A and B are shown apart, each in its own frame.
Chain A
Amino acid sequence: MQTIRLKLKEEITSGIAKIPVEVDSLTPDKLFGKNEAEIKAVKVWWGNKEENTGDLFDVSVEGEAASADEVKIVMEGDLSRVKHIGDGMKAGEIEALGDVDMHCGAMMQGGRVTVKGNADCWAGREMRGGELIIEGDAGDNLCAMYRGEMTGMTGGKVTVGGDAGECVGQYMAGGEILIKGNAGILTGLNMKGGKITIEGDAIMPGADMTGGEITVKGKVRDMMPSFKFVETATIEGEEYKKYLGDLAMMEKRAKGVLYVK
């Protein structure tokens, strides 16, 4: 097992302008096999300039890894301006000790990312596999898609300990999302497959869905007027109303399932 510690230097985010650092080049699979000096030389984007990782982060490496699966990256410091943590990662583990910026776990294919705080917008964007755990809140567009794409998350598992913002799982086609708190407006918008569970409340869930399943355990505010009531169902001992929708997509395409109390 190898642990790579990356601590963002204080001066990077202490200026008047808080310019984000983009770290999609720092995933366990990309750093596997590199020694400390080589990791320090990996380029990361800071604004419109590419910098050495060692110039922006304090870097330390402990232990050995036989494969990328055995590489764990621990990110420390003020990560609220560190974007693309775990973006595209295929294996291994990343632990971010604090709030992280946008696109955390985007395009992820394998491995695990744990955020010990809040994650900003587009966490888990177009995620294909692996696991993303956000212990705090998630911003908007969790597990959704890049602007203009017609497919969001297709695989993997995402857990949010707190609340999530708007458009959770937009265009989602597979995988699982669990929100332990509330979700913002339009959860599961254009959803085609996969499963979303919201333990708290939701607003207008399931709009334009053509597949997949959404369960809202709390209250639904502004239920869509274009869903068809099917039957009463019991899930984990509790009674839910099962709806099919969205009929605004025409009946032959309205294969989405929405469970509300």
Chain B
Amino acid sequence: MVEITDVVCSLCGCVCDDIVVEVEDNNVTKVKKGACSVGKSKLMGHGRIESPAIRENGSLKDCSYDDAIKKAAEILAAARRPLLYGWSSTVCEADKVGVELAEEIGAVIDNTASVCHGPSVLAIQDVGLPSCTLGEVKNRADLVIYWGANPAAAHANHMKRYSYISKGYWTAEGKKNKKLIVVDVRRTATAKMADVFLQIEQGKDYLVFSALRAMLYGYEDVVPEVVGGVSKKDLLETVRMMKEAKFGIIFFGMGVTHTGARHNNIVNAIQTTRAAHTHTKFNIMPMRGHYNVAGINQVCTWETGYPFAVDLSRGYAWYNPGEHSATDLLIRRECDVALFIASDPGAHFPGESIRHLAKIPVIQIDPFPNPTTEFADVVIPAAISGIEAEGNVYRMDNIPIRLRKLVDTEYMADEEILERILGEVRAIKEKEGE
């Protein structure tokens, strides 16, 4: 038995890096410390895609890595409008090859931000992001606001490691000297811990942000008595707490990115942070979901200039979420081929997109079987990043952290699979060129 310390969790955007595990006979046998229950479950392992496979007459037939990779390359090289999607539950090194593949075949490359914090990314482009690291939040924040986010359920270590409950250099007494505001449409587990809970009407976040901004700038006289289901009294109290804070932070989640004004809610949230700057230090940060969704946004941006939904079909990058985002492309039946890596559109995309996926060739690269496997035509199993393969990922505050390899594996890493597909595609194109 070997004890491994400082293990990095490859589950959510918290990317906890102080986990201790025990490894015996090339298996993780115990998670001793640091991980939340979901992270622990991933580290301990579960069902895998056991072999590469190609669908024949409706059912998947096991084959070699070579055959599956060759078949995938043939499908991709012949495509007129291929979509390459996923990328957020693997490492940046694999993502980089993915962008290269997209460029080679004139594909649309999109990642899970598209159905997650894509609206936040759009908003950041419009008005910037006054943000900080989670370390700064831990050591300095005395006012924490969760808006449309429920970390008690979704990012179980977030409050303990980084925000409301954590103890830092200037926050040695933990939550005793901090305030917590929660804004949500229902009283969540996080809301029950809050000093102030603003229960807003579904879809009215935009109005509440605008009211807060007007108040922070001193125009409370124009604000009506009730805005989006919240009383003016509660809004004024929130503004007072914001003004009096030494270091405030707004963490926001899907509850505000996908409702009412969607990405414009986030523009308004960022503008609210900016309005708070006329009084004190304030910050804002999206509660990123998958452990490396921030990383694929980084990689895609440094390779193409844009973070997600990038169309490379004309040989240059054209970026337009709503037009080149995966669900939109699929609902409009635009794609003729799709490759999914480290994601599960079968479980997460709207029914209409899935109906189209059932009709076109689909390639899946993933360690785990999931609903996408059910309609995939080529299935390529991969090593689990952070357990069987190493590489760099970006935490939700865009801090790069290196995932560690804990055990050996026979499975190929995502990066190698993609490099081999790219090599095969280039060989096909060279042959066609001749």
Binding site secondary structure of chain A: loop
A131, chain B: closest CB distance, angstroms: 24
CB-CB contacts of A231-245 with B at 8 A, as 1s and 0s? 000000000000000
Assembled-state Cα–Cα distance A19/B227 (Å): 44
Assembled-state Cα–Cα distance A49/B264 (Å): 35
Q: Is A186 engaged at the interface, CB distance under 8 Å to the other chain?
A: yes
Q: Is B162 engaged at the interface, CB distance under 8 Å to the other chain?
A: no
Q: Is A113 engaged at the interface, CB distance under 8 Å to the other chain?
A: no
Q: Is A47 engaged at the interface, CB distance under 8 Å to the other chain?
A: yes
Q: Is B207 engaged at the interface, CB distance under 8 Å to the other chain?
A: yes
Q: Contact check, B264 vs A19: say whether CB atoms are below 8 A apart.
A: no
Assembled-state Cα–Cα distance A147/B310 (Å): 12
Assembled-state Cα–Cα distance A189/B263 (Å): 12
Given the contacts A147-B125, A147-B320, A225 and B222 also touching, CB distance less than 8 Å: yes
Q: Is B219 engaged at the interface, CB distance under 8 Å to the other chain?
A: yes
- Contact residues in B for A48 (Cβ distance below 8 Å): 79-82, 105-107, 312-314
Q: How many A-B residue pairs have CB under 8 A?
A: 117
Q: Contact check, A226 vs B80: say whether CB atoms are below 8 A apart.
A: no
Assembled-state Cα–Cα distance A260/B120 (Å): 31
Q: Contact check, B211 vs A225: say whether CB atoms are below 8 A apart.
A: yes
Assembled-state Cα–Cα distance A122/B214 (Å): 30
Q: Contact check, B214 vs A47: say whether CB atoms are below 8 A apart.
A: no
Q: Contact check, B125 vs A148: say whether CB atoms are below 8 A apart.
A: yes
Q: Contact check, B264 vs A225: say whether CB atoms are below 8 A apart.
A: no
Name B200-215 residues within 8 Å CB distance of A: 204, 206-207, 209-211, 213-214
Residue of A49, A204, A248 touching B214 (CB-CB under 8 A): A248
Binding site secondary structure of chain B: loop
- Contact residues in B for A227 (Cβ distance below 8 Å): 222
- Contact residues in A for B107 (Cβ distance below 8 Å): 48
What is the interface size of chain B, counting residues whose CB is below 8 A from a CB of the partner?
A: 47
- Contact residues in B for A81 (Cβ distance below 8 Å): 334
Q: Contact check, A20 vs B334: say whether CB atoms are below 8 A apart.
A: yes
Q: Contact check, A204 vs B125: say whether CB atoms are below 8 A apart.
A: no
Closest to B330 in A: A17
Given the contacts A224-B207, A225-B211, A226-B214, A18 and B261 also touching, CB distance less than 8 Å: no
Q: Contact check, B81 vs A19: say whether CB atoms are below 8 A apart.
A: yes
Residue of B209, B219, B321, B359 touching A16 (CB-CB under 8 A): B359
Q: Contact check, B210 vs A226: say whether CB atoms are below 8 A apart.
A: yes
Residue of A189, A225, A246 touching B227 (CB-CB under 8 A): A225
B389, chain A: closest CB distance, angstroms: 31
Closest to B232 in A: A225
Assembled-state Cα–Cα distance A204/B203 (Å): 12
A-B contact pairs, 14 of them (CB 8 A): A16-B333, A17-B81, A18-B334, A47-B313, A48-B79, A48-B82, A49-B80, A167-B264, A222-B207, A224-B207, A224-B210, A225-B223, A226-B223, A248-B217
Q: Give 10 A-B pairs besides A45-B314, A225-B224, A248-B214 with Cβ atoms closer than 8 angstroms.
A: A17-B80, A17-B360, A20-B334, A47-B81, A48-B81, A48-B107, A207-B206, A222-B207, A225-B223, A251-B219
Interface residues of B (CB under 8 A from A): 79-82, 105-107, 122, 125-126, 204, 206-207, 209-211, 213-214, 217, 219, 222-224, 227, 260-261, 264, 267-268, 271, 275, 312-314, 319-323, 332-336, 356, 359-360
Interface residues of A (CB under 8 A from B): 15-20, 22, 45-49, 81, 102, 121-122, 140-141, 146-148, 167, 185-186, 189, 204, 207-208, 222, 224-229, 246-248, 250-251
